Protein backbone atom coordinates (compact mmCIF):
# COMPACT_ATOMS: atom_id res chain seq x y z
CA UNK A 1 0.00 0.00 0.00
CA UNK A 2 1.37 3.42 -0.90
CA UNK A 3 2.22 5.83 1.90
CA UNK A 4 -0.52 8.22 0.78
CA UNK A 5 -3.13 5.44 0.96
CA UNK A 6 -1.92 4.45 4.42
CA UNK A 7 -2.21 8.02 5.63
CA UNK A 8 -5.72 8.37 4.21
CA UNK A 9 -6.73 5.09 5.84
CA UNK A 10 -5.35 6.22 9.16
CA UNK A 11 -7.07 9.59 8.82
CA UNK A 12 -10.38 7.79 8.31
CA UNK A 13 -9.87 5.80 11.52
CA UNK A 14 -8.87 8.86 13.48
CA UNK A 15 -11.91 10.82 12.30
CA UNK A 16 -14.43 8.09 12.97
CA UNK A 17 -13.15 7.20 16.43
CA UNK A 18 -12.69 10.66 17.85
CA UNK A 19 -15.48 11.98 20.05
CA UNK A 20 -14.27 15.51 20.27
CA UNK A 21 -12.47 17.54 17.68
CA UNK A 22 -11.30 20.47 19.74
CA UNK A 23 -10.47 21.06 23.37
CA UNK A 24 -11.82 23.81 25.56
CA UNK A 25 -9.41 26.67 25.91
CA UNK A 26 -9.05 29.50 28.37
CA UNK A 27 -9.37 33.23 27.83
CA UNK A 28 -12.32 34.86 26.18
CA UNK A 29 -14.34 31.99 24.82
CA UNK A 30 -16.75 31.93 21.95
CA UNK A 31 -18.37 28.96 20.31
CA UNK A 32 -18.01 28.62 16.59
CA UNK A 33 -19.17 26.11 14.03
CA UNK A 34 -16.57 24.69 11.72
CA UNK A 35 -17.62 23.01 8.53
CA UNK A 36 -15.51 20.07 7.49
CA UNK A 37 -16.24 19.61 3.85
CA UNK A 38 -14.67 17.82 0.97
CA UNK A 39 -13.30 14.99 3.10
CA UNK A 40 -13.71 11.78 1.12
CA UNK A 41 -16.34 9.59 2.72
CA UNK A 42 -17.52 12.23 5.15
CA UNK A 43 -19.37 14.80 3.06
CA UNK A 44 -20.04 17.89 5.15
CA UNK A 45 -20.02 17.68 8.93
CA UNK A 46 -20.77 20.42 11.42
CA UNK A 47 -18.45 20.37 14.41
CA UNK A 48 -18.80 22.67 17.39
CA UNK A 49 -15.48 24.28 18.24
CA UNK A 50 -14.43 26.41 21.18
CA UNK A 51 -12.43 29.43 20.15
CA UNK A 52 -10.40 31.82 22.29
CA UNK A 53 -10.33 35.36 20.96
CA UNK A 54 -7.33 37.60 21.61
CA UNK A 55 -6.30 41.07 20.46
CA UNK A 56 -5.87 41.27 16.71
CA UNK A 57 -2.19 41.28 15.80
CA UNK A 58 -0.46 41.77 12.46
CA UNK A 59 1.80 38.78 11.83
CA UNK A 60 2.92 39.03 8.21
CA UNK A 61 2.17 39.81 4.59
CA UNK A 62 0.67 37.56 1.93
CA UNK A 63 3.15 38.79 -0.65
CA UNK A 64 6.09 37.73 1.53
CA UNK A 65 5.01 34.08 1.79
CA UNK A 66 6.52 31.41 -0.40
CA UNK A 67 4.64 28.16 -0.88
CA UNK A 68 5.72 25.40 1.51
CA UNK A 69 8.13 27.71 3.33
CA UNK A 70 6.84 28.10 6.92
CA UNK A 71 7.65 31.23 8.92
CA UNK A 72 7.33 31.64 12.67
CA UNK A 73 5.51 34.29 14.67
CA UNK A 74 4.55 34.80 18.31
CA UNK A 75 0.87 34.90 19.32
CA UNK A 76 -1.11 35.49 21.49
CA UNK A 77 1.82 36.01 23.88
CA UNK A 78 5.50 36.56 23.16
CA UNK A 79 6.50 33.12 24.43
CA UNK A 80 4.17 31.16 22.15
CA UNK A 81 5.75 30.59 18.75
CA UNK A 82 3.57 29.47 15.89
CA UNK A 83 3.98 28.51 12.27
CA UNK A 84 2.46 30.40 9.31
CA UNK A 85 2.52 28.54 6.01
CA UNK A 86 1.17 28.85 2.48
CA UNK A 87 0.18 25.29 1.61
CA UNK A 88 -0.62 25.76 -2.06
CA UNK A 89 -3.96 23.96 -1.63
CA UNK A 90 -7.18 25.17 0.01
CA UNK A 91 -7.37 24.39 3.72
CA UNK A 92 -9.84 24.62 6.60
CA UNK A 93 -9.47 28.08 8.09
CA UNK A 94 -7.25 29.14 5.20
CA UNK A 95 -7.05 32.76 4.07
CA UNK A 96 -5.85 34.53 0.95
CA UNK A 97 -7.09 34.30 -2.63
CA UNK A 98 -6.63 30.53 -2.64
CA UNK A 99 -7.66 29.93 1.01
CA UNK A 100 -4.32 28.19 1.45
CA UNK A 101 -2.58 30.23 4.15
CA UNK A 102 -2.90 28.70 7.63
CA UNK A 103 -1.21 28.92 11.00
CA UNK A 104 -0.75 26.44 13.82
CA UNK A 105 1.09 26.06 17.08
CA UNK A 106 3.73 23.43 16.25
CA UNK A 107 3.95 21.73 19.63
CA UNK A 108 2.65 18.18 19.66
CA UNK A 109 -0.58 17.85 21.64
CA UNK A 110 0.47 14.44 22.97
CA UNK A 111 3.51 15.24 25.13
CA UNK A 112 4.90 18.43 23.68
CA UNK A 113 7.17 17.11 20.97
CA UNK A 114 8.73 19.77 18.71
CA UNK A 115 7.10 19.90 15.26
CA UNK A 116 8.27 23.28 13.95
CA UNK A 117 10.79 21.65 11.61
CA UNK A 118 8.61 18.70 10.69
CA UNK A 119 6.55 20.23 7.86
CA UNK A 120 5.94 17.73 5.06
CA UNK A 121 5.24 19.74 1.90
CA UNK A 122 4.19 16.75 -0.20
CA UNK A 123 1.35 15.71 2.10
CA UNK A 124 0.70 19.09 3.80
CA UNK A 125 1.10 17.54 7.22
CA UNK A 126 3.14 18.36 10.30
CA UNK A 127 5.09 15.36 11.57
CA UNK A 128 6.09 12.80 12.31
CA UNK A 129 6.62 13.97 15.87
CA UNK A 130 10.14 12.93 16.94
CA UNK A 131 8.80 11.55 20.24
CA UNK A 132 6.02 9.13 19.26
CA UNK A 133 5.37 9.73 15.54
CA UNK A 134 2.08 11.66 15.64
CA UNK A 135 1.26 13.55 12.44
CA UNK A 136 -1.31 16.31 11.88
CA UNK A 137 -3.15 17.35 8.71
CA UNK A 138 -2.76 21.09 8.08
CA UNK A 139 -5.50 21.13 5.43
CA UNK A 140 -8.07 19.86 7.95
CA UNK A 141 -7.68 22.14 10.97
CA UNK A 142 -4.64 20.24 12.29
CA UNK A 143 -6.51 16.98 12.81
CA UNK A 144 -4.52 13.89 13.68
CA UNK A 145 -3.45 11.65 10.83
CA UNK A 146 -1.70 9.01 12.92
CA UNK A 147 0.07 8.59 16.23
CA UNK A 148 -0.47 8.83 19.98
CA UNK A 149 -1.94 12.33 20.13
CA UNK A 150 -5.70 12.63 20.65
CA UNK A 151 -6.16 16.35 20.11
CA UNK A 152 -5.77 18.49 17.00
CA UNK A 153 -3.01 21.06 16.81
CA UNK A 154 -4.10 24.49 18.04
CA UNK A 155 -4.99 26.52 14.96
CA UNK A 156 -4.44 30.26 14.88
CA UNK A 157 -7.40 32.12 13.43
CA UNK A 158 -6.36 34.46 10.65
CA UNK A 159 -7.82 37.41 8.78
CA UNK A 160 -6.48 39.23 5.76
CA UNK A 161 -6.78 42.93 5.02
CA UNK A 162 -5.20 43.93 1.75
CA UNK A 163 -1.77 42.29 1.88
CA UNK A 164 -1.62 42.18 5.67
CA UNK A 165 -2.23 39.03 7.69
CA UNK A 166 -3.68 39.29 11.21
CA UNK A 167 -4.04 36.72 13.98
CA UNK A 168 -7.31 37.07 15.87
CA UNK A 169 -7.69 34.00 18.08
CA UNK A 170 -6.77 30.41 18.78
CA UNK A 171 -8.80 27.24 18.32
CA UNK A 172 -7.69 24.88 21.06
CA UNK A 173 -5.13 25.06 23.83
CA UNK A 174 -1.35 25.17 23.43
CA UNK A 175 0.26 22.07 24.95
CA UNK A 176 1.19 22.36 28.62
CA UNK A 177 -0.82 25.51 29.26
CA UNK A 178 -4.04 26.11 31.12
CA UNK A 179 -4.47 29.34 29.16
CA UNK A 180 -3.01 30.60 25.90
CA UNK A 181 -2.01 33.91 27.48
S1 LIG B 1 4.90 13.95 21.96
FE2 LIG B 1 4.33 13.86 19.87
S3 LIG B 1 3.56 11.91 19.59
FE4 LIG B 1 4.10 11.96 21.69
What string of H, E and C letters represents the secondary structure of 26-68? CCEEEEEEEEEEEECCCEEEEEEEEEEEEEEEEEEEHHHCCEC
State the DSSP string of 165-180: EEEEEEES--TT-SS-
Minimal-distance CA residue to ligand 1 atom 3: 132
110 has catalytic annotation: yes
User: Which residues is 33 bridged to in the sheet?
Assistant: 48
123 has catalytic annotation: no
Query: Does residue 135 contact residue 127 with C-beta atoms inside 8 Å?
Result: yes
Ligand 1 center–CA 137 separation, angstroms: 15
Listed in sequence order, the residues at least 6 apart from 132 whose beta carbon sits closer than 8 Å to its beta carbon are 110, 111, 113, 147, 148
Q: Which residues line ligand 1 (CB under 6 A)?
A: 108, 110-113, 129, 131-134, 147-149
Give the residue, out of 104, 107, 108, 176, with the most ligand 1 atoms within 8 A of its beta carbon, to mutate for a pocket test.
108
Domains and CATH numbers, the chain: 3-171 (2.102.10.10)
Q: pLDDT digit of tens for each residue in the chain (181 aa)?
A: 444 544 444 443 343 333 333 333 334 545 454 554 444 444 555 656 668 999 999 999 999 999 999 999 999 999 999 999 999 999 999 999 999 999 999 999 999 999 999 999 999 999 999 999 999 999 999 999 999 999 999 999 999 999 999 999 999 999 998 888 8
Give the residue, out of 10, 148, 150, with the most ligand 1 atoms within 8 A of its beta carbon, to mutate for a pocket test.
148
- Residues 110, 123, 141, 148: which is the catalytic one? 110
Cα gap 37→98, rounded to integer Å? 16
User: Which residues is 154 bridged to in the sheet?
Assistant: none
Ligand 1 center–CA 132 separation, angstroms: 4
28-39 and 43-61 strand pairing: antiparallel
Give the DSSP letter of residue 134. Answer: -
This prediction's pTM: 0.78
Q: Where are the beta strands (DSSP E) in 101-151?
A: 101-104, 119-120, 125-126, 135-137, 143-146
Distances (CA, A) of 125 to 51, 54, 57, 100: 22, 26, 25, 13
Amino acid sequence: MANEDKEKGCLTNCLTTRRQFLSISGGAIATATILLSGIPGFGTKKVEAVVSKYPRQKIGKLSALKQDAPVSFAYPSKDINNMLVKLGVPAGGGIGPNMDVVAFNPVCTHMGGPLAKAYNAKHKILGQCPFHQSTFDLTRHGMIVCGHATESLPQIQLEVEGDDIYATGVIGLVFGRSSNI
